Amino acid sequence: MIAVILVGGFGTRLRPLTYTRPKQLLPLGNTTLIEYMIGRLAEQEFREIVLAVGYRPDTLKEVLGDGERLGVNIHYSLEEEPLGTAGPIRQAEDYLRGSGEFFVLNGDIVSDMNYQQILVHHRYHQAQASIALYRVDDPSRYGVVDITSEGQILAFIEKPPADTAPSNLINAGCYVLDESVLDHIPLGRKVSIERETFPLLCEKGRVYGWEHKGLWIDTGTPSSYLEANKEVLAASTNQSHRESPPTHHGPVRRMYIGPTSSRNVRYLRPYWKGKDTIIGNDCEIGPNVTLGRNVTIGAGTRIRDAVIFNCVEIGESVVLRNTVIGQGAKIGDKIRLEEFQLVGDGATIYPGAIVPPGARIDPGTDFR
């Protein structure tokens, strides 16, 4: 089977982390979001992957290459300008014509979907399009379906007010599409699959839904990204202490960090500790913590529910929780970040600074 992964978005809700990388390269434990997605596809016998890329495509190519390392063949379909959620599918048609049917996945979803079950469901109903669905309490933030008891989707309504939603089954960002769907997507312009393509196909009566009842996280916000990190760590870390391969991304520049000897460090699972990361005395790490490579952490620091990128320097007696620290950032002594603050690459937070809840500190910024 062939799968198209839509990775053209700018990741605006995760800025400043996404100023310097596409959100698909945000770390989750010892992997990244896009590598996690491709790995799950490879496990289910997908061998051809088309990445519909737009934002920072060279960065993705540098990390993923041709896909051999991940057991797949990766093709890149470049959007010169944003084409929405359906336009990139039509633009990739050279890879899709002749396939008969293919999968499309949003590039920001962490899930444990069984793609083969969706495919069987699709073929059973002889559907033109099959949409994976997920049940939520509040569907107003998503595309919602009006669906029959047999699973036929009658209408697709994008982000309706909660009191008018026909169901609480939302678009889960995974579709099986018949090749003929390409003919219903205009070429060369921005097209919304939710607002244009699916409503058109629903009128033809050949759209069906398949409900996924397992893990599903839209990683587009800081809180949901950290939740995804927690789930991936829990699934992949089955030892009390693990380290990533000995790969180095840039030099370590010491700041604020005194001598460390790693006495009385308490680790709470799950967590991931990268190669050449140094942790000071009397620290507590975890649960739900990803520490990148070449990270230095001063004595008495506590970190939980957090993602720390490579080459970060953290001072003494720091408290980090519900926060993400970008590559090469420096956090001074006694700083507290506990309320979804995001720190961009290379930023510095000096000792004594008070960082407001939800603050976004741009790359390279000095915050005093």
| CA 326 to chain CA centroid, nearest Å | 15
The residues annotated with a catalytic role in the active site are 159
Nearest to 84 by CA among 215, 174, 197, 3: 197
Gap between the Cα atoms of 343 and 329, Å rounded: 7
Gap between the Cα atoms of 230 and 245, Å rounded: 21
Assess contact for 202 and 153: CB atoms under 8 A.
Answer: yes
Beta bridge partners of 50: 4, 75
The one-letter amino acid code at 362 reads: D
DSSP state of 24: G
DSSP state of 195: I
Nearest to 310 by CA among 300, 320, 324: 324
Inter-CA distances, 320 with 133, 333, 335, Å: 35, 12, 8
Nearest to 53 by CA among 21, 30, 26, 29: 21
3-state percent breakdown (helix, strand, coil) of the chain, nearest 5: 25, 30, 45
Q: Which residues of 335-363 are buried (b: 16+ CB within 10 A; e: fewer)?
A: bbbeebbbbbbbbbbbeebebeeebbbbb
Q: Which residues of 63-78 are buried (b: 16+ CB within 10 A; e: fewer)?
A: ebeebeebebebbbbe
Nearest to 218 by CA among 109, 297, 121, 132: 109
Contacts 24+ apart (CB under 8 A), 137-141: 137/168, 138/162, 138/168, 139/165, 139/167, 139/168, 139/169, 139/170, 140/165
Residues ≥6 apart with Cβ < 8 Å to 259 = none
